[in-house]
Amino acid sequence: MREKNKNKNHDFIYFITEGISNMFTHGFMSFAAIGITVACLLIMGTFSLVAVNADATLSKLEDENQVLAFVEESLTTAQARALRDDILAVPNVAGVEFISRDQAWEDYIADFPEIGELAGDEMDSSTLRDRYAIYMDDLSQMADTAEAIRQIPGIARVNAYEELSDGFITLRNIATIISVTLIAILFLVSVFIIANTIKLTTFDRREEIAIMKMVGATNGFIRWPFVYEGLLMGLLSALIAFFLQWGLYHLVTSGISTNDLFSIIQIVPFSSLWGAVALVFAGAGIFIGVGGSLSAIRQFLKV
Amino acid sequence: MIRLTDVIKEYSNGTRALNGLDLEIKDGEFVFLVGPSGSGKSTIIKLLTGEVVPTEGRVMVNGFSLTNIAEWQIPYMRRTLGVIFQDFRLIENKTVYDNMLFAMRVVGATPKEIKKRIPYVLRLVGLETKQSRLPNELSGGEQQRVAIARALVNNPSTIIADEPTGNLDPARSLEIMTLLKRINELGTTVLVVTHERDLVNRFDERVVMLDRGRVISDAVGKYGVKANA
Ligand SMILES: Nc1ncnc2c1ncn2[C@@H]1O[C@H](COP(=O)(O)OP(=O)(O)OP(=O)(O)O)[C@@H](O)[C@H]1O
Ligand SMILES: [Mg+2]
DSSP-assigned letters across all residues of A168-210: HHHHHHHHHHHHHHHHHHHHHHHHHHHHHHHHHHHHHTHHHHH
Instruction: State the smallest CA–CA distance between residue B226 and chain A in angstroms.
Output: 34
With CA atoms as reference, the chain A residue closest to B106 would be: A217
Range of the domain at A133: 66-160
In tens, the pLDDT along A189-224 reads 889 988 988 888 888 888 889 999 999 999 888 888
Same domain, yes or no: A56 and A179: yes
Res B193 pLDDT > 50: yes
In tens, the pLDDT along A243-274 reads 999 999 999 888 887 776 677 777 888 888 99
pLDDT (average), residues B146-155: 96
In tens, the pLDDT along A23-76 reads 887 778 888 889 989 998 998 899 888 888 887 877 777 666 677 888 888 888
Instruction: State the smallest CA–CA distance between residue A286 and chain B in angstroms.
Output: 25
Same domain, yes or no: A188 and A286: yes
Q: Which of B147, B26, B34, B115 is nearest to A214 (CA)?
A: B147
- Does residue A47 or residue B92 have the better pLDDT? B92
Rounded distance between C-alpha atoms, residue A12 and residue A92, angstroms = 70
Half-sphere exposure of A18 (CA within 13 A, CB side): 23
In tens, the pLDDT along A176-188 reads 888 788 788 888 8
> Distance from the CA of A62 to the center of ligand 2, in angstroms?
81
Same domain, yes or no: A112 and A35: no
Number of structural domains (chain A) is 2
Give the pLDDT of residue A160: 64
Same domain, yes or no: A41 and A184: yes
Res B120 pLDDT > 90: yes
Query: Is A211 touching B (CB cutoff 8 A)?
Result: yes
- Provide the pLDDT confidence category of residue A139 given band limits of 50, 70 and 90: low
Give the pLDDT of residue A4: 43
Instruction: State the smallest CA–CA distance between residue A7 and chain B in angstroms.
Output: 5
β-pairing, B158-162 vs B189-193, is parallel
Give the pLDDT of residue B13: 96
pTM for this model (two decimals): 0.73
Q: Identify all chain A residues contacting B162, using CB atoms and an 8 Å cutoff.
A: none
Same domain, yes or no: A43 and A190: yes
Same domain, yes or no: A151 and A13: no
- Provide the pLDDT confidence category of residue B76 given band limits of 50, 70 and 90: very high
Res B46 pLDDT > 70: yes
Same domain, yes or no: A15 and A44: yes
Q: Which of A106, A135, A160 is the last residue of a domain?
A: A160
Same domain, yes or no: A249 and A283: yes
Res B29 pLDDT > 80: yes
Q: Which of A132, A160, A188 is the last residue of a domain?
A: A160
Please give the interface size between A and B, counted as residue pairs whose CB atoms are below 8 Å apart.
63
The rounded Cα A34 to chain-centroid distance in angstroms is 20
The rounded radius of gyration (Å) of the Cα atoms in chain B is 17
| CATH number of the domain to which A135 belongs | 3.30.70.3040
Q: Which of A135, A160, A185 is the last residue of a domain?
A: A160
Whether the Cβ atoms of residue B209 and residue B195 lie closer than 8 Å to each other: no
Q: Which amino acid is at A257?
A: S
- Provide the pLDDT confidence category of residue B165 given band limits of 50, 70 and 90: very high
Same domain, yes or no: A185 and A277: yes
For residue A95, report the phi and psi dihedrals to the nearest 5 degrees: -170, 155
With CA atoms as reference, the chain B residue closest to A220 would be: B72
- Provide the pLDDT confidence category of residue B227 given band limits of 50, 70 and 90: very low
pLDDT (average), residues B169-179: 94
Sheet holding A93-99, edge to edge: A93-99, A131-136, A66-71, A155-159
pLDDT (average), residues A281-296: 92
Give the pLDDT of residue B184: 97
- Provide the pLDDT confidence category of residue B55 given band limits of 50, 70 and 90: very high
pLDDT (average), residues B136-150: 96
Of B50, B51, B79, the CB nearest to A3: B79
Same domain, yes or no: A292 and A156: no
Three-state SS at B127: coil
Does the distance separating the beta carbons of B71 and A303 come in below 8 Å?
yes
Same domain, yes or no: A48 and A84: no
Same domain, yes or no: A179 and A51: yes
pLDDT (average), residues A76-91: 86
Query: Is A14 touching B (CB cutoff 8 A)?
Result: yes
